[in-house]
Amino acid sequence: MQNIKKKKTLDAFKILALGFATVIFTGATLLSMPFSSASGQFTNFLDCLFTSTSAVCVTGLTTLDTGLYWSMTGKTILIILIEIGGLGFMAISTIFALVLRKKITLKDRLVMQEAYNTFSLQGIISHVRYMIIFTLSVQGIAALILMTQFIPMFGVGTGIYYGIWHSISAFCNAGFDLLGNFTSVTVVNDNKVILLTLANLINIGGLGYLVWRELLSTLNKKKKLKNISLHAKVVVTISLIMVIGGTLAFLILEWNNPLTMKDMTFGNKLVNSYFSTTTPRTAGFNSISNSGMSPASKLITMAYMFIGGSPGGTAGGIKTTTFGIIIFTLIAVLKGRSDVEIYKKKLSQSTVYKAIAIFFLGLTIVVIGVVILSMNEHSATFEQIVYEVLSAFGTVGLTMGITPGLHIISKLTLILIMYMGRVGPLTVMLAISNKQVKINIKYPEGKLLIG
């Protein structure tokens, strides 16, 4: 008898995890080459791995100065990695398949469905096309607006390049900048056009393609916005509450802070408050000093970094919908209701369980990261370490200045956290949803005291 070997196939979430890892290591290898550095020398591979992970996971944390260390080639490699990270490697693969007229298999469609959090396989290729067109259109318009500001500052060639580069970085919620000296956009925090353009790009990219498609379709058909899906309603509601509430909070808390906004005009204070509440979800630009903010503002920033943006977009974190489900679950418990209800719709038990699992998974990753960094970064304060780890997990990129001097173990830890923040929670969610085993046995109910 002949042994028949079964062909092993990877499921969707393993393909996603391996796909991102492959892109990261490819990017790190290219960045380590002499043509990528401004000095023309080889770059330490760990720093390249850290930078590539940060770019592909659209984080923004850097151990090397993006504006000064990398050559034009290195910067271009970085922005390509950011675009791939923002769109997802499956979108890039689909582009090549469509151009080369290759058949897109059912397995490819399943992976895309999981990667972009769509509800069904129907119209998945159409959705990817829409993503690409929407992305390039928004980035193109924003780049033109940014060019009007960068060209007078840096000249025509550099101004055009900076406009395109920062438009992609902001839309993909990456937070990388080319202004040098780890200053982010603090050097242009009095330029309302730049700040508003970047903040709006962050919000657009972080809201999610499905939501934008639904909102624009509803407006085009002149339908009422109250008819949009539950998912879109929750995403828009939570996002608006966070943006408006955060803007008011930053405006009040930083109004008289001499280290941040005290000497600004009211208009600049308002714009910088809006920018500061937008960028933790999860872009990584900063227009005011992160370390100079009041303790309350730092706490709000850390909470926003953990929550992040919305599913199916370019942002990280546990996502606004997860946070929303946790809040509505709490409300249901306080009201004594057995079902979690949102906008007169009942959520399934499995959806609630997944949200709780993702929340505590994220919390566990953060706690472990804080413990490891605390053991290695003796010169950093506990606040700086928590800020750094939350920034890595939420794929944000904000820092209090400790990133360049991190210990090798801390760098490796943050690399893993950035990777898990971009891929891990999604992977775990897919593992839970795809490996549900129906058990016919039911055990007797037990009683347990809680609270």
What letter represents residue 423's amino acid? Answer: V
The secondary structure of 229-257, three-state, reads CHHHHHHHHHHHHHHHHHHHHHHHHCCCC
pTM greater than 0.75: yes
Measured in residues, the chain has a length of 451
Whole-number Cα distances in Å, 54 to 143, 354, 417, 418: 22, 26, 10, 7
The pLDDT value recorded for residue 432 is: 47
**What is the structure's pLDDT at 101?**
57
Residues of the chain with confidence (pLDDT) below 50: 1-9, 428, 432
Task: Give the pLDDT confidence of 127-158 residue by residue, as tens digits.
Answer: 677 888 888 899 999 999 999 999 999 999 99
Please, are residues 397 and 174 in contact by the beta-carbon 8 Å criterion? yes
Position 8 scores a pLDDT of 43
Question: At residue 338, what are phi and psi to the nearest 5 degrees?
Answer: -85, -20
Given this model, what pLDDT does residue 425 score?
58
Parse the chain into domains and list their residue ranges.
12-433
Query: Contact, 62 vs 102, CB < 8 A?
Result: no
Looking at residue 9, what is its pLDDT? 46
pLDDT tens digits for 225-282?
A: 777 888 889 999 999 999 999 999 999 999 999 999 999 999 999 999 999 999 998 7
